[in-house]
Amino acid sequence: MNRQRGMSSLALVLLLLVLGTLILTGLNQQLTTFSALVGGESRSLQQQAYVQSALEWGRVQSWSPGPEVQCKKAPARQVCLRRLSETAVLLIAGVNDLLLWRSGEIVDGKIRFSPHGWSDFCPLKERSLCQLP
């Protein structure tokens, strides 16, 4: 009879060990998934900040109101100014596939950008005008 109690105790311990292993494996898979999500979100935020920085860099550059399209490049980023009409301009900044825009106007031969900041969607109906050349 003592032998039977020992076997059931051993079986219970093994069952708890298997259940614990299954739970820990599931938690490890969840942790791996969440780590990948957080890493992707972090890279996305860094890229967004980099493009915003490029747009601000482009805003403070000296642009001539003359040419229809003019671009300036810095390491890993490109900023272009597109003249839309006699008085309207669009500043486009891009890094990889992410683009941001800022509208502006030509006043007394100088370019003044909108005080309302940047846009993360194309402000024009014709999408081709919102792309970097």
Gap between the Cα atoms of 77 and 91, Å rounded: 13
Gap between the Cα atoms of 42 and 47, Å rounded: 9
pLDDT one-digit tens code per residue, 81-124: 999 988 899 999 988 888 999 999 998 888 999 888 888 888 88
Domain boundaries, the chain: 2-130
- For 100-132, letters b (16+ CB in 10 Å) and e give bbbbbebeeeebebeeeebbeebeeeeeeebee
Is residue 1 scored above 50 in pLDDT?
no
CA angle 26, 30, 31 (to 5 degrees): 115
How does the average pLDDT of the chain come out, rounded?
88
pLDDT one-digit tens code per residue, 15-33: 999 999 999 999 999 999 9
pLDDT one-digit tens code per residue, 35-86: 999 999 999 899 899 999 999 999 998 888 778 999 988 777 889 999 998 8
